[in-house]
């Protein structure tokens, strides 16, 4: 990190930092975190007064930019009436309204919404639903989830087991993780045949096929097409298992549509949402099930109930924020903004293709990713972006941007140009291939 020498860090940094255990961070060697004191629009305001253009939208959440007054107002009003009540035995209008609206956004009969408080938990709930739906029908053999190389579905023990086996933490955690079935996405006929052969052997053990549709995010911004999803739908139907779309990253506007299921016409049995659900203000997630999944739990037998209930499930503040976020999707041209960002990303990143050290450039919706041959010094790359006034958080071999869909034209231009120029510079420094 570069910091002007005249700047004295605020007291809270020195007093608290030693006690903060940071995410994905070798605490001993990593550069210190940047202290943020305010957010506005697509900007982060640092303690020393600098402003960074945010290319990450706070882990893909802040789709309407920061501090949107409509969301702030909705949360404030909810705070005054009822910040929280437990959801066991009680219910409330913000949750009921949000569930109805989410069901209306989803295609087909994806009508039954289970709320939780993080994406990982939403995925675990989806996995649990799929396994228990089979159990409730008397099929005790379907206990496995089939997931894909390149995938990312969360950091909890159950979700680590369905992440990419190499990029994920399978090797490190070894036998501590459940053994799931990991395959290649059926991107072409050859891989489709391999998946079919796998399912011919293992299909009777599979409760659900789990996929991030169209873009695998944290696993490397890997992209596939709707035909791949159609193959998964057909395979799930042939082998009697469910299909789960983890839309936590790609749903709610990021790809220029409210849901990939709706945009592609490939309708899964369960969808998970989180990240942009509250427009980047509160923790909230949803697992949305189709009628036939719900019906597997609908019974006179109490043991057929879904036995799950996070303490802060359907938190009214978070539901109010999510309802306000959906208002904004209805009132403002968010999806058109995502498509305009896509155009600008394609134009701005295209010149990188084929440059030294650049392996690939990928754009889909408001996601632009540059894959380098390798990144030798991640901290140096991060610092180079900060020096350009940009907040971009590369990982693995990838530098990417996923800006707020409301980002101002000037800031977007700076972001795309900065991603391109810094990537080109770092790529060139890797030397000839």
Ligand X SMILES: *Cc1c(COP(=O)(O)O)cnc(C)c1O
Taking the complex as a whole, how short is the minimal distance between the CB of residue 11 and ligand X, in angstroms? Answer: 30
CA distances from 299 to 127, 136, 182, 283, 331 (A): 20, 9, 33, 32, 41
Is 66 tagged catalytic? no
Nearer to ligand X, 62 or 358 (CB): 62
Token pair recorded at residue 137:
């029908």
Query: Which of the ranges 25-33, 96-104, 119-127, 296-304 carries the binding residues for ligand X, by CB under 6 A?
Result: 119-127
d(CA 142, CA 203) in angstroms, rounded, equals 8
CA distances from 163 to 126, 219, 235 (A): 15, 8, 20
**Residue 118 in the binding site for ligand X (CB under 6 A):** yes
Counting residues that bind ligand X (by CB under 6 A) gives 15
Is 246 tagged catalytic? yes
Is 28 tagged catalytic? no
Nearer to ligand X, 249 or 426 (CB): 249
**Residue 153 in the binding site for ligand X (CB under 6 A):** yes
Taking the complex as a whole, how short is the minimal distance between the CB of residue 400 and ligand X, in angstroms? Answer: 13
d(CA 337, CA 366) in angstroms, rounded, equals 9
Query: Which of the ranges 20-28, 81-89, 115-123, 332-340 carries the binding residues for ligand X, by CB under 6 A?
Result: 115-123
**Residue 281 in the binding site for ligand X (CB under 6 A):** no
Residue among 375, 378, 379 at smallest CA distance from 1: 379
Taking the complex as a whole, how short is the minimal distance between the CB of residue 113 and ligand X, in angstroms? Answer: 17
Angle CA 8–59–110, to nearest 5: 155
Nearer to ligand X, 3 or 308 (CB): 308
Binding string to ligand X for residues 233 to 262, with x set by CB under 6 A, is what? -------------x-xx-------------
Query: Which of the ranges 9-17, 19-27, 82-90, 118-126 carries the binding residues for ligand X, by CB under 6 A?
Result: 118-126
The answer to whether residues 261 and 106 touch, using CB atoms and an 8 Å cutoff, is: yes
Q: Which of 148, 152, 245, 391 binds ligand X (CB under 6 A)?
A: 152
Token pair recorded at residue 223:
């992209």
Nearer to ligand X, 246 or 388 (CB): 246
Taking the complex as a whole, how short is the minimal distance between the CB of residue 206 and ligand X, in angstroms? Answer: 20
Angle between helices 334-349 and 409-429 (to 10 degrees): 30
Residue nearest to ligand X (CB): 119
Give the contacts of 342 (CB within 8 A, at least 6 positions apart): 256, 363, 364, 365, 366
The residue from 54, 246, 269, 411 that is catalytic is 246
Q: Which CB contacts under 8 angstroms, 24+ apart, belong to 93-98?
A: 94/314, 94/316, 94/319, 94/320, 94/323, 95/314, 95/316, 95/319, 97/319, 97/323, 98/314, 98/319, 98/322, 98/323, 98/326
Q: Which of 41, 65, 94, 154 binds ligand X (CB under 6 A)?
A: 154
Q: Which CB contacts under 8 angstroms, 24+ apart, belong to 26-32?
A: 30/379, 31/1, 31/379, 31/382, 31/383, 32/1
Give the contacts of 353 (CB within 8 A, at least 6 positions apart): 360, 361
Q: Which of 119, 253, 403, 418 binds ligand X (CB under 6 A)?
A: 119
**Residue 164 in the binding site for ligand X (CB under 6 A):** no
Is 312 tagged catalytic? no
Nearer to ligand X, 401 or 422 (CB): 401
The residue from 66, 164, 275, 400 that is catalytic is 275
**Residue 329 in the binding site for ligand X (CB under 6 A):** no
Query: Which of the ranges 150-158, 193-201, 385-393, 425-433 carries the binding residues for ligand X, by CB under 6 A?
Result: 150-158
Find the binding residues for ligand X in span 178-237 (CB under 6 A). Answer: 212, 217-218
Chain residues that interact with ligand X, rule: CB under 6 A: 118-120, 123, 152-154, 212, 217-218, 246, 248-249, 274-275
Active site residues: 24, 152, 246, 275
């Amino acid at each position: 990190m570069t910091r002007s020498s005249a700047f004295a860090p605020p007291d809270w940094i020195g007093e608290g930092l030693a006690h903060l255990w940071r995410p994905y961070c070798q605490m001993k060697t990593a550069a210190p975190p940047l202290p943020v004191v305010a957010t506005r629009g697509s900007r982060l305001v640092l303690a020393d007064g600098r402003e960074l253009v945010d290319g990450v939208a706070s882990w893909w959440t802040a789709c309407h930019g920061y501090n949107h007054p409509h969301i702030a107002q909705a949360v404030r009003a909810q705070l005054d009436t009822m910040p929280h009540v437990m959801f066991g035995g009680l219910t409330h209008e913000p949750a009921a309204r949000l569930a109805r609206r989410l069901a209306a956004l989803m295609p087909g009969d994806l009508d039954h919404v289970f709320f939780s408080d993080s994406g990982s938990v939403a995925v675990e709930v989806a996995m649990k639903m799929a396994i228990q739906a089979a159990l409730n029908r008397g099929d005790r053999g379907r206990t496995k989830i089939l997931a894909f190389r390149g995938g990312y579905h969360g950091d909890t023990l159950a979700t680590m087991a369905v992440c990419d086996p190499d990029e994920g933490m399978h090797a490190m955690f070894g036998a501590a993780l459940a053994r799931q079935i990991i395959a290649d996405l059926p991107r072409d006929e050859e891989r489709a045949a391999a998946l079919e052969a796998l399912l011919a052997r293992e299909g009777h053990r599979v409760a659900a096929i789990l996929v991030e549709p169209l873009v695998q995010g944290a696993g490397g911004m890997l992209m596939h097409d709707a035909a791949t999803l159609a193959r998964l739908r057909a395979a799930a139907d042939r082998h009697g298992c469910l299909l789960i779309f983890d839309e936590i990253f790609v749903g709610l506007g990021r790809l220029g549509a409210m849901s990939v299921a709706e945009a592609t016409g490939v309708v899964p049995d369960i969808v998970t949402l989180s990240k942009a659900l509250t427009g980047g203000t509160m923790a909230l997630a949803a697992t949305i099930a189709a009628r036939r999944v719900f019906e597997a739990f609908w019974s006179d037998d109490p043991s057929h109930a879904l036995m799950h209930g996070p303490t802060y499930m359907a938190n009214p503040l978070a539901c109010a924020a999510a309802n306000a976020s959906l208002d904004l999707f209805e009132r403002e041209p968010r999806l058109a903004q995502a498509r305009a960002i896509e155009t600008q990303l394609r134009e701005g990143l295209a010149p990188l293709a084929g440059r030294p050290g650049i392996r690939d450039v990928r754009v889909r919706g408001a996601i632009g990713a540059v894959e380098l041959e390798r990144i030798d010094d991640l901290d140096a790359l991060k610092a180079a972006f900060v020096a350009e006034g940009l907040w971009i958080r590369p990982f693995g071999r990838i530098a990417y941007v996923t800006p707020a869909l409301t980002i101002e034209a000037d800031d977007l231009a700076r972001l795309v140009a900065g991603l391109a120029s810094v990537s080109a510079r770092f790529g060139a420094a890797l030397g000839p291939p």
